[in-house]
Structure 1
Amino acid sequence: MDAPDTAPGTPQAESLEVLYQSPGLPRWRLPPALAALYGSDLGFTEPCLYANFVASLDGVVALGPEYRHSGSTISGREPADRFTMGLLRACADAVVIGAGTLRASPRHHWTPQHVHPSGAADFAELRRRRGRAADPELVVVTARGALPADHPALQTGALVITTATVAAHLRSSLPASCTILAAGQGPALSMREVLDAVHNRGHRVLLTEGGPYLVGQFIAGGLLDELFLTTAPVLAGRIDAARPGLIAGQEFLPALRHPASLASVRRHASYLFLRYQFHRSITDASDILP
């Protein structure tokens, strides 16, 4: 999901109405204010990799490289969507993005309170209950190393995963607050090796807010466990510009089928908040990021 910057005077989120929830979902005990807004407790089976997107009614998740913060344009900065984004970050040990998402959000911090400031104390309490650091670790995946070294999220500190060749260059160009890890010897990255590197840091519950290309690679490798999808009541349209849906750079049907089960449906006004769980049985697609 594209990461919007916090706007002053953002309206407070209202509670989500639970329309459907699959029985037996894992649940962590949320602080009461978070549980009231979400409509229930929330949890994940470990290890878990889940994605979060907002899409228009016609399936657009990004308006094109010339539009920064296109996710917030699609969502209309709906407070319920921003709360949900913050909650999903608060549940995660780490937030995984690609270099393109980092460049497209030049002032962003991938922390829960950045998108929902009024929930900061409750997000912090949730993380304390789970014995986690104050904020999830930011993980930036890049095969080419085209990263803005002055980005505030890198200045604060991030884990950057790249190839061995690019890692040698980045160690001298990124802030000392960043940790650089190599997850491949050639010009490509294996998404399995990327996740292994993150897991080796003790992170078991991972949120990806990467764009359609990165998420497409995770799905192609059979690595994505869950998808949270906000459907915004707006049409984006397409002419000639590349306005991708959830997945770019991959084709599955008709040759491959990646089935998902509906786990929950929530509603606020005309926005729908959907949760799907994927079945990892399909793993014969390439998991290589060019």
Structure 2
Amino acid sequence: MAGPDTAPTAPVPHAEPLVRLYEEPGLRCWRLPPALSALYGGDLGFPEPCLYANFVASLDGVVALGPEYPSSGSTISGREPADRFVMGLLRACADAVLIGAGTLRASPRHRWTPEHVYPAAAADFALLREQRRRAAEPELVVVTASGNLPAQHPALQAGALIATTTQGASRLTGHLLPACTILPLGDGPTLRIPQVLDTLRARGHTTILSEAGPRLVGQLVGADILNELFLTLSPVLAGRANTTRHGLIAGLELLPKQQESADLISARRRASYLFLRNRLPRRRPSAGDSEH
């Protein structure tokens, strides 16, 4: 996740335009409003359906500083305006934003909307969504097997879709505002992530952004359902000592037994920050592949 913060404590500076270093020929693009295209260094689009994730990482591969540092993505990114703009743009392109309960709890005042992270482009984000005939804001989807959620969180107060188990639904019933929809998806102690994705697609969400943490992203990769990865490489060193500091994926071991490679399809730069976009090859066909 590209570092949602607890709340903007000062006006977000305007981003400088990204410099396009590489773009795969023939990459699908939507025509962005001119102001967004100028800042991004070109247009942006996705094949449909598409599930894409967004992270910011230090030079030494750290995306989370540990449980004692909530919202550590903002520290890793240095609140770089260009990173915040890209985060907002990726949200503006999405039908739904997917997070886990841990991400929600770690950002107690955050709203997963485009304008929350980059207010300067709020009107242009809204224009993009209007042009694509989408709702005013992407739907927030919170994944929680246990149903342990802070009911007073402003993102939940504004409304969200809660994907949970039958037991989690029982725990949440009567504790959330009517703006939230509780979606029980099974009687067991865990959730099947492919079932969550299938349910979102059935609700008409064809373009889904994951801002979940490394463990949930590990489940997406393990289930072979993550299509693209946006990675902001921040010019900082995080280091590791006597604390757990995850990389992009946690809870899933790949190398040396299993090699997963991604294709670089776009690279942009702003000062010493790199903005990379990778496509993850599919290991096996999915039910939706016949629709392409």
TM-score (norm 1): 0.96
Match of 1:18 among 13, 17, 20: 20
Code of the aligned partner of 1:234:
V
Q: What's 1:107 paired with?
A: 109
Code of the aligned partner of 1:78:
E
Q: What's 1:37 paired with?
A: 39
Return the offset for 1:168: 2.0
What does residue range 1-290 of structure 1 map to in structure 2 within 5 Å? 1=1, 2-4=3-5, 5-281=7-283
Name the SS of the counterpart of 1:139 in structure 2. strand
Name the SS of the counterpart of 2:52 in structure 1. strand
CA distance in 2, matches of 1:261, 1:183: 33
Return the offset for 1:6: 2.4
Kindly indicate whether the alpha-carbon contact (under 8 Å) linking 2:53 and 2:230 is maintained by their aligned counterparts in 1.
yes
What is the identity percentage for the equivalent residue pairs of Structure 1 and Structure 2? Answer: 64
Return the offset for 1:278: 0.5
Kindly indicate whether the alpha-carbon contact (under 8 Å) linking 1:3 and 1:72 is maintained by their aligned counterparts in 2.
yes
Name the SS of the counterpart of 1:213 in structure 2. helix
CA distance in 2, matches of 1:112, 1:146: 26
1:144-173: CA deviations, max 9, x gaps? Answer: 111000000000000000112211221222
Q: What's 1:286 paired with?
A: none
Aligned pair count reads 283
Name the SS of the counterpart of 1:227 in structure 2. strand
Moved more, 274-283 or 51-60: 274-283
CA distance in 2, matches of 1:6, 1:261: 34
Alignment RMSD (CA, Å) = 1.0
Return the offset for 1:183: 1.7
Kindly indicate whether the alpha-carbon contact (under 8 Å) linking 2:147 and 2:167 is maintained by their aligned counterparts in 1.
no
Return the offset for 1:240: 1.2
Code of the aligned partner of 2:149:
L
Code of the aligned partner of 2:151:
A
Kindly indicate whether the alpha-carbon contact (under 8 Å) linking 1:54 and 1:232 is maintained by their aligned counterparts in 2.
yes
Structure 1 gaps, min length 5: 284-290
After superposing on structure 2, the runs of 4+ consecutive aligned residues of structure 1 that deviate more than 6 Å are: none
Moved more, 151-160 or 62-71: 62-71
